Amino acid sequence: MRCFLLIGLLAGLSLPTLAARPTPTPPAPKPAAAKNTVRRHLIYFRDKTGTPFSVSRPEEFLSGRALQRRQRQQIAVLPRDLPVSPAYVQQVKAVAGVQLWYTSRWFNAAVIACDSVVLAQVQALPFVQRARTLNRGLPQGSAQPKPAPAPPTPEQTTADRSQYGKAYAQIRQVGAERMHNAGFRGEGLQIAVFDAGFTGVNTASVFASMFTQNRLLSTFNVVEKSAAVFGRDSHGTNCLGIIGGDEPGRYLGAAPKASFRLFITEDNVGGTEHPVEEVNWLVAAEYADSAGVDIISSSLGYTTFDAPSPSYSYADMNGRTALSTRAAAVAARVGMLVVNSAGNDGNNAWRYIAAPADADSIMTVGAADSLGRVGSFSSRGPTADGRLKPNLSAMGVATAIVNPSGTISRGNGTSYACPVLAGLAAGFWQANPRLTAQQVIALLQRSGTQATAPDNNLGYGIPDFVRAYNLANPGTPLANAPARGVAGLYAYPNPVGPGEPLYLQLPTGPGPGILEIRIYDARGALVARQRVAPAATGTVRLETAGLRPGIFTCLIGPGPQQQAVRFVKQ
């Protein structure tokens, strides 16, 4: 993989459903002769015969949140979603010399580490269909965090962007400040970030609220099979800040109140490139699915590998060949919104998008400057089979990013355009919870600056929250007015426990009269309605005793400019 910037299945069964708990690091292989080098391999099983799992009992291998996401979008649980046969797993593990790392429900496969002699024994098992060498042994240890760049020169900010700091331009370009003013900051949405490392996220003040508000839900280092993600590389830190940075007056991301699951899928230690990183992407996507993630933000891409792993050609960018592309397509089909950077090859010999950006049904993001012009480095479409790519674009030239030290600087890359749109999509989906992931993509495309004349440079152009919202809600449009500052609508405690009341803090203090609050469940059905008068502090108390556990959306009125906030009832 290359992280797209210019400057600056657990062993034995299915992947864990919720938290990514630390697991022991597999033992290092003993020194061996070159011909018996331990490498990792993806072995495919012939079927799922003998599995104790059933599509009629999906709660045995998918979380309640994952099932709600499917139900909301009318997506059936299919045999593809079943874990691999435990009997097959046990027989593979019984082969002397095999270390089993992960299993894959979607590919009906397993990742193992062994030498070539042992691999031949595994391939001789009657239920093993084929194997593909991923050409890397066990991973090296984590690299030391890279030194942070020098603090940038302070910039003057005007009052209308004081809450956002240097992030204002990238936020304003897609209408996210108006999204925030309307009360949509990603509350209740789960975003998975796939990257190479998140150095400094646990110490930088811009991420502090993510910890204090319990919005960092899990961490999973797929490379090392552990929970340790706050090292190895700073690229994930840069991208996470663009979405979830939350330090008003200094830096605000596009979805500063979303919840996050962080994954290391890219192994930058050692400086080599092999398809094992694409399989890491698959493993992370299946975990995200089982945990109930709504959006995947991936600023990663794959074209060229080190020998003897074969590289991809442009002809392979057809939506059905690359491992990561196939994984991204399934992730989209189970109802997650996959947002992936297009790549930075626009002005070199490759020129085109990289995998998994060629997948269908995902949002591939190109880079533009602050004036909406395509960045010269931004990878172009179409896919090899002629589909338009990228889908949309955002600011990826001189984007404001968070460094591990907590300083703010600027960088270029489709890596940075991708999280801008992942955050925008989170707020837009929060505002329109009855939409499917594919409808979210379609409406954002229709709101783009090139909606009537899309091309393979910027796709449908740069989307806008207000235009997209009004397309989705023609009867109750938002006013297309200048921003008045960052909204303060939020719900607490969130999640709310059994028998606990839920409190809404209104963004502008108490209103002039009675408010009507409607509560919708994950399917979009109206389940409760309350008329309340805000307290002098602008706080509204809601009773939740009559609600079953699940995800709910409050719509707050009266008036055409409704506001919304999501909450979880435990």
More confident site: 487 or 251: 251
Neighbouring C-beta atoms of residue 89, cutoff 10 Å: 18
CA distance 157 to 129: 61
CA distance 488 to 160: 16
At residue 483, the 3 state secondary structure works out as: coil
In the chain, which residues fall in CATH 3.40.50.200? 162-429
Neighbouring C-beta atoms of residue 117, cutoff 10 Å: 11
CATH topology of domain 490-569: Immunoglobulin-like (2.60.40)
26 pLDDT more than 60: no
What does the pLDDT read at residue 3?
58
Q: Please give the backbone phi and psi of residue 210, each rounded to the nearest 5 degrees, phi first.
A: -60, -35
CA distance 386 to 181: 39
From the number of C-beta atoms within 10 Å of its C-beta (0-12, 13-18, 19+), residue 256 rates as buried
376 pLDDT more than 70: yes
410 pLDDT more than 50: yes
23 pLDDT more than 60: no
What does the pLDDT read at residue 136?
63
Please state which of the ranges 139-153, 306-320, 445-459 shows the lowest mean pLDDT. 139-153
Confidence band of 508 (pLDDT split at 50, 70, 90): low
> What is 162-429's CATH number?
3.40.50.200
Lookup: tokens for 164 = 């956002």
Type and span of the H or E element at 78: none
Show Cβ contacts of residue 124 under 8 Å, excluding neighbours closer than 6 positions. none
Confidence band of 138 (pLDDT split at 50, 70, 90): low
For the chain, percent of residues with pLDDT exceeding 90: 68
142 pLDDT more than 50: no
> What residues pair up with 530 in beta bridges, in sequence order?
517
Lookup: tokens for 145 = 């965090």
How is 486-500 classified by DSSP, letter by letter?
----EEESSSBPTT-
Query: Smallest Cα–Cα separation from 437: which of 425, 448, 450, 445?
Result: 425
222 pLDDT more than 60: yes
Amino acid identity, residue 175?
Answer: G
273 close to 308: Cβ distance less than 8 angstroms: no
More confident site: 105 or 6: 105
Confidence band of 535 (pLDDT split at 50, 70, 90): low
Sheet holding 39-45, edge to edge: 99-104, 109-114, 39-45, 128-133
Supply angle C-alpha 191, 195, 198, rounded to 5: 90
489 close to 183: Cβ distance less than 8 angstroms: yes
76 pLDDT more than 80: yes
- What is the overall mean pLDDT for the chain? 86
Interval 351-358 mean pLDDT: 97
214 pLDDT more than 60: yes
Confidence band of 153 (pLDDT split at 50, 70, 90): very low
What does the pLDDT read at residue 35?
55
CA distance 203 to 208: 7
Confidence band of 288 (pLDDT split at 50, 70, 90): very high
**pLDDT tens digits, one per residue of 244-271:** 999 999 999 999 999 999 999 998 776 7
CA distance 285 to 263: 9
What does the pLDDT read at residue 152?
34
Alpha carbon dihedral 124, 125, 126, 127, in 10-degree steps, equals -130
What does the pLDDT read at residue 465?
96
66 backbone φψ class: left, alpha, beta (φ>0; ψ -120 to 50): alpha
Show Cβ contacts of residue 442 under 8 Å, excluding neighbours closer than 6 positions. none
Count how many Cα atoms sit within 13 Å of the Cα of residue 136 in the half-sphere of its side chain: 24
More confident site: 164 or 545: 164
489 pLDDT more than 70: no
In the chain, which residues fall in CATH 2.60.40.3080? 490-569
Helix orientation angle between 64-72 and 276-291, rounded to the nearest 10 degrees:
90
Amino acid identity, residue 45?
Answer: F
Tell me which residues are annotated as active site.
Answer: 195, 235, 415
146 pLDDT more than 60: no
Interval 312-327 mean pLDDT: 97
What are the angstrom distances between the C-alpha of 12 and each of 90, 115, 220? 7, 20, 17
456 pLDDT more than 80: yes
**pLDDT tens digits, one per residue of 440-451:** 999 999 999 999
What does the pLDDT read at residue 31?
38
More confident site: 473 or 85: 85
Please state which of the ranges 72-81, 258-267, 487-496 shows the lowest mean pLDDT. 487-496
CA distance 131 to 146: 37
Confidence band of 384 (pLDDT split at 50, 70, 90): very high
Alpha carbon dihedral 27, 30, 35, 40, in 10-degree steps, equals 0
Show Cβ contacts of residue 270 under 8 Å, excluding neighbours closer than 6 positions. 140
279 pLDDT more than 90: yes
Query: Smallest Cα–Cα separation from 329: which of 363, 373, 301?
Result: 363
Place of tokens 């192994």: 267
CA distance 195 to 229: 10
Confidence band of 536 (pLDDT split at 50, 70, 90): low
CA distance 354 to 230: 27
Interval 453-478 mean pLDDT: 93
Place of tokens 């990238």: 170
What does the pLDDT read at residue 266?
93
Confidence band of 32 (pLDDT split at 50, 70, 90): very low
What does the pLDDT read at residue 545?
84
